[in-house]
A and B are shown apart, each in its own frame.
Chain A
Amino acid sequence: MKYSSKDEQQFVNCTLSGPVRIFVKHGKVVRILPLEYTEPDDAPPWKIEARGETFTRPNKAGIACWVQGSKQQIYSKDRLLSPMKRVDFDPNGERNPQNRGVSGYEPITWDEALSIVTGEIIRLKDKHGPSSIAVTGSSHDSWGNIGYRMSALERFWNLVGCTWIDHDPDSWQGSYWGAIHSWGFHWRLGQPPAFDLLRDTFESTEMIVFWSSDPSTTSGDYAWNETDQWRFHMKKLGIKFVFIDPHCNYTAVLDGDKWIAPKAGTDVALALAIAYTWIKEGTYDKEYIGTHTIGFDKWEAYVMGEEDGVPKTPEWAEGKSGVEAAVIQALAREWASKRTTLAGGGRSGMGHVMRSSYGHEWSRAMVLLMGMQGLGKPGVNYYSTTGGAPADWDFFFPGYADGGIAGGSAGPKDLGPRGFPKRPTASQIRQRINRACLPECVINPPVTWRGVYGYYGQSAQQQFTECTFPFPGYSEIKMIFRQGASYIGTMMETNRFARMYRDPKLEFVVNQTIFNEPETKFADIIFPVCTNFERNDIGEWAKISGYSNKLSPTNARVVVFQQKCIEPRGLSKPDYQIFALLAERLGLKEMFTEGHPDEMSWIKRMYEVSDLPKVISWEKFQSKGYYIIPPKMDKKPTPALRWFYDQRAIDIPDKPMSVDRPTNDEQGMSRLSTPSGKIEFESQTLKMFDPNDEERPPVPHYIASWEGTESTEILKNYPLQLISPHPRFTFHSQHDGKSLWNDEICHHRRLIDGYRYWVIRLHPVDAEKRGIKENDLVKVRNDRGVVLCAATITERMLPGVVHSYSSGGGYDPQGEPGVNTTIDKGGTINQLTSSRFLSKNCAGMAPGSCLVEVEKYVEGGK
């Protein structure tokens, strides 16, 4: 496409959902377009030919609607344009922590703000040591390898010292706490690789079962609308799509051939009945069971009822799940008779089931079902249709999990050996906190949990660690430094976080963020950050690396020189510059910057250590703004688990660590990273950990939810199951609740009496019982909170289950924050979800198990 130049300047940048071209006039953004790959020197489109049809790479980026609306976000009324101080906070006098979340703010100068913050860091380190300062960033920050939280934030705080608040695999909990014990892949946090599975699916798959999976919504997270064309092509090839989800989700209403709706939390029962049918009818791959798996007899004994006297028949599963036995049986037969791929969770993880009570049991059952059908055979994969596009993975460019300027690495250590940075940093403070129980750690220590300190991808056994806070002799938390602001919106039982921030034990709270978000309003000092459109950076689209190494969720590997398009708005600054200023005041400037005068110098250095100089000059890269890495289409494809199916050495571009196998010869390299090297129906790691753990036994079991269909007492008051998966029209909290254009999408928010309310979906039967009509304001409540929502009445819900997306950014308490009876107008659904972990030994979130009541809201009424 030819673009007008006139008096407009053009820039290229990269966002959370892809590369964009920005047009600027007189220092103001005019328009933002998804980047097209139509320059004469751009890599030409690749093609996959299969079954008589050709799929051709699209020639532009499939960005998300909330990125298409970035202009409104850049100029949002909720941008922070000046450093702020809470009006009733005086570092030398009354701090009034009890007023956090309520008090107003006054603008202060950068000098004042930096002085207060460095003063507090010095005071607290002097008095209590660095462990008294807890620090974290938001999961999905603005894009760029230099500015990202794993880069600038980590470098600064590793040098200062702090108690890190850990991030965990909370989008795919079940894989992490479950699937790891069935098939290994702990370095991928339990998620399967997807190499070349796009081609393999095009060539060989006949049916895909999307189980708790809505790829059109969650796609490959940062890849957003990139993968819809793939599924459209799969349908064209005649591949059947079956959806299992109590919500007839957004992919199902486009492409579904069958929607099967189990009651929430009963999916394992369904899986067991499928296994039962296969065993009973002899329609599983017995040879593969013999050569590629261990412990099948134990699984068989449980499935067939020898273990507990209960055969897991389709009729038994119907009683649990509400899905007709005949349908379960038909699914099982069709699955066994066709080359079937399982899409268990959205990317390879999203979907509510994995994030529900005992979600690990489901994740393990999913792996085992595929183990019964010859996982790795052509067309028989574990694949959510959201990765595995052709890509040249010999070409090195780092992702954010490679650690950026911090020099840490969540996964393969690829960047460090190339000399970036010169001096890597690492946390010197061993005390750490699981973010899901941060409020308890702050307010009411000591706290214990079974889980992980630091990076989660080191070994399967790492997750058995008995964790505790505080460490002996370390400080409790006196200060929180928060970059980004997504806890209020994304963390379960959110009122806990409001109570934490208002607790007098917290002497000081800093929020460094772009928008005046709900969590920001609990800070004492606010540092305003500019967006990625207002600074330079470098990054590859959707490139995580580390624990999601080489996922290939996009049609093209696009490395972007993220050009600064406009000056930072107001007094906002890039994250990097804020840390550099703090470092200077703490005498750490040289250590933090390594002598780089500015970000551009770091960017150039990252360019130099990558493979980019081989293909594009620095000057050209800077001026053009991007480079598309062409895939090597003549290279023999290496489908994700074909090597394992063929029992030969692993040939995919992502290898396990040497410690995960007895030898590194051919035989060792053909093993999975489970103790047996095979798919484990009976998990050897779990058996060693605790063979009698009834919440996660060595063979996966159906265990009724602690808050679900069999919770008789809770159901008396809260009869509806609430599921709250990853949202379709926002990404975390930062793309919502700021008067953005996605607010006008009826699936996202609804305008009622001048206020835009978050949407909840319920079945007509449930609505009628409660006298609720379309667009009515409803109160969604349980003992943990009360949220106002706009009702959407749709037969896309299973009766008895309601659906409302997580991660709203609009928290708007109509009373004292943190009080469970205070009504939230803003749609913070996670106020209602439980902070109870998946199970007693698995410290992962389980918002998918949540019971509520929904009632029509009458203002001033009860």
Chain B
Amino acid sequence: MAKYAMAIDLNRCIGCYNCQIACKDEHVGNDFLPVAAAQPTFGHFWLSIEEREQVRNPSHIKVTYIPKTCQHCEDAPCIKAAKNGAIYRREDGIVIIDPEKAVGQTGLVAACPYGSIYLNEEKQLPQKCTFCAHLVDDGWKEPRCAQSCPMSCMHFGDRDDPQSAVSKFLAAESTEPLYPELGTKPQLRYAGLPKPHLSGTIRLADSKECAAGVKVTLAVPKGEKRETVTDAFGDFQFDNVSKTLYAIEYSLEGCQKQSQALKIEEDITFLGEITLKME
């Protein structure tokens, strides 16, 4: 039996919203019993997009779009909260809300820590993503969201099959769950979740010109050392820094070497303008 999972490459996601709308196209107006009753026309986001806007510095803003469906958790709080077996996990790992048994169990909306269950007001039915189980059961290789993605950044398939799209992606890329602290063992994994970021811009003291080619070294005491070089604009950046104590050093031929201790506490650290003096 397959074990379905999905991995999403956020580094490739362009925020086109095709996935969100493909989900509606599949489910609005269409009953796919017994796995899903029709989705209301508006207000449900069986796939929603969480956006993180990182203002890294005044000349560098990065937006990460995070498509978010039911995480099909192995340890799903919604299954525990459901009465009468209204939410169950199929052998292939897909978590399904039974469109009949779940009627009236409106409290299930709050049971999902990811906020992925929506209430169908008219039917008094909690509803969510099914990984398009009705299509998967019929031989489709991927759910509608993944099919519609122009960047092909959603990798779906059987986790136990090393040749599946998801297995290949997981083997090749570093991925992690969204909000791992919730501890629900989700079957969705992400590459490219935003990380703490450090940047600055360097100028030459006398001319005020942008200092290109400055070697910037970032080091933790007795440990990791990372290096970069400023670009033409004197800008430098380190992505995925730790919230810890670093020493940062700037060196450019003909200039006085500068260094400072740096304690990173925020998700975004912009050191502002750093001025290098001539030797």
Residues of chain A having any CB pair with chain B under 8 Å: 1-4, 6, 30-34, 36, 58, 60-65, 68-69, 71-72, 75, 216, 224-226, 228-229, 232, 240, 248, 250, 252-254, 256-261, 325-327, 329-331, 333-334, 729, 739, 741-746, 794-796
Chain B stretch 65-96: residues in CB contact (< 8 A) with chain A: none
Question: A746 vs B50: C-alpha distance in the bound complex, in angstroms?
Answer: 11
Residues of chain A with a CB closer than 8 A to B22's CB: 33, 68
Secondary structure type dominating chain B contacts: loop
Cβ of B15 within 8 Å of any chain A Cβ, yes or no, is yes
> Are B63 and A253 within 8 A (Cβ)?
yes
Residues of chain B with a CB closer than 8 A to A742's CB: 17, 21
The answer to whether A2 and B141 touch (CB under 8 A), given A228-B151, A250-B15, A741-B21, is yes
Secondary structure type dominating chain A contacts: mixed
Question: A60 vs B22: C-alpha distance in the bound complex, in angstroms?
Answer: 15
Q: Which of B26, B148, B203 contacts A34 (CB 8 A)?
A: B148
The answer to whether A4 and B25 touch (CB under 8 A), given A225-B18, A258-B59, is no
Question: A522 vs B42: C-alpha distance in the bound complex, in angstroms?
Answer: 29
The answer to whether A258 and B233 touch (CB under 8 A), given A1-B141, A31-B26, is yes
Q: Which of B25, B30, B62, B141 contacts A253 (CB 8 A)?
A: B62
Q: Which of B55, B63, B139 contacts A254 (CB 8 A)?
A: B63
The smallest beta-carbon distance between A4 and chain B, in angstroms, is 4
Q: Which of A4, A60, A65 contacts B139 (CB 8 A)?
A: A4
Q: Which of B60, B150, B232 contacts A225 (CB 8 A)?
A: B150
- Interface residues of B, CB < 8 Å — how many? 50
The residue among B12, B16, B26, B61 with the most chain A CB atoms within 10 A of its own CB is: B16
Residues of chain A with a CB closer than 8 A to B24's CB: 69, 72, 741
The answer to whether A31 and B25 touch (CB under 8 A), given A232-B12, A327-B233, is yes
Cβ of B147 within 8 Å of any chain A Cβ, yes or no, is yes
The answer to whether A69 and B25 touch (CB under 8 A), given A4-B140, A226-B150, is yes
Question: A216 vs B148: C-alpha distance in the bound complex, in angstroms?
Answer: 17
The answer to whether A72 and B209 touch (CB under 8 A), given A254-B14, A326-B203, A330-B233, is no
Q: Which of A2, A4, A32, A216 contacts B14 (CB 8 A)?
A: A216
Q: Which of B20, B30, B138, B209 contacts A745 (CB 8 A)?
A: B20
What are 9 pairs between A and B in contact, CB < 8 Å? A34-B18, A72-B24, A72-B41, A229-B150, A248-B61, A261-B59, A327-B210, A744-B42, A796-B53
Extra inter-chain contacts (16) besides given A63-B150, A253-B61, CB under 8 Å: A3-B140, A33-B22, A60-B152, A63-B148, A68-B25, A68-B148, A75-B29, A250-B15, A254-B63, A258-B59, A258-B231, A331-B233, A739-B41, A744-B20, A744-B45, A795-B55
Question: A739 vs B148: C-alpha distance in the bound complex, in angstroms?
Answer: 21
Question: A248 vs B42: C-alpha distance in the bound complex, in angstroms?
Answer: 30
Name the residue on A nearest B153 (C-beta).
A232
Question: A258 vs B60: C-alpha distance in the bound complex, in angstroms?
Answer: 6
Residues of chain B with a CB closer than 8 A to A248's CB: 61
Question: A334 vs B21: C-alpha distance in the bound complex, in angstroms?
Answer: 41
Q: Which of B16, B53, B60, B212 contacts A259 (CB 8 A)?
A: B60
Q: Which of B43, B61, B152, B235 contacts A58 (CB 8 A)?
A: B152
The answer to whether A31 and B30 touch (CB under 8 A), given A229-B150, A232-B151, A257-B231, is yes
Question: A746 vs B135: C-alpha distance in the bound complex, in angstroms?
Answer: 29
Chain B stretch 229-269: residues in CB contact (< 8 A) with chain A: 231-235
Residues of chain A with a CB closer than 8 A to B59's CB: 258-261, 327
Question: A745 vs B41: C-alpha distance in the bound complex, in angstroms?
Answer: 14
Cβ of B98 within 8 Å of any chain A Cβ, yes or no, is no
The answer to whether A65 and B21 touch (CB under 8 A), given A30-B30, A228-B151, A254-B63, is yes
Name the residue on B nearest A34 (C-beta).
B148
Chain B stretch 203-241: residues in CB contact (< 8 A) with chain A: 203, 208-210, 212, 231-235
* A-B complex: 5 closest residue pairs judged by Cβ atoms: A62-B150, A334-B232, A225-B150, A253-B63, A330-B210
> Are A229 and B151 within 8 A (Cβ)?
yes
The smallest beta-carbon distance between B276 and chain A, in angstroms, is 13
Cβ of B142 within 8 Å of any chain A Cβ, yes or no, is yes
> Are B16 and A1 within 8 A (Cβ)?
no
The answer to whether A34 and B150 touch (CB under 8 A), given A225-B14, A225-B18, is yes
Cβ of B144 within 8 Å of any chain A Cβ, yes or no, is yes
> Are B232 and A331 within 8 A (Cβ)?
yes
Question: A1 vs B212: C-alpha distance in the bound complex, in angstroms?
Answer: 50
Cβ of B28 within 8 Å of any chain A Cβ, yes or no, is yes
> Are A68 and B21 within 8 A (Cβ)?
yes
Residues of chain A with a CB closer than 8 A to B212's CB: 330, 334
Question: A325 vs B235: C-alpha distance in the bound complex, in angstroms?
Answer: 15
The residue among B138, B147, B232 with the most chain A CB atoms within 10 A of its own CB is: B232
Question: A327 vs B45: C-alpha distance in the bound complex, in angstroms?
Answer: 43
Residues of chain A with a CB closer than 8 A to B55's CB: 795
Residues of chain B with a CB closer than 8 A to A6's CB: 138
Question: A253 vs B15: C-alpha distance in the bound complex, in angstroms?
Answer: 10
Question: A744 vs B25: C-alpha distance in the bound complex, in angstroms?
Answer: 14
Residues of chain A with a CB closer than 8 A to B147's CB: 1, 33-34, 36, 60
Name the residue on A nearest B44 (C-beta).
A744
Name the residue on B nearest A36 (C-beta).
B147
The answer to whether A795 and B17 touch (CB under 8 A), given A2-B140, A326-B208, is no
Q: Which of B140, B151, B210, B233 contacts A1 (CB 8 A)?
A: B140
Name the residue on A nearest B62 (C-beta).
A253
Question: A72 vs B30: C-alpha distance in the bound complex, in angstroms?
Answer: 12
Residues of chain B with a CB closer than 8 A to A61's CB: 150
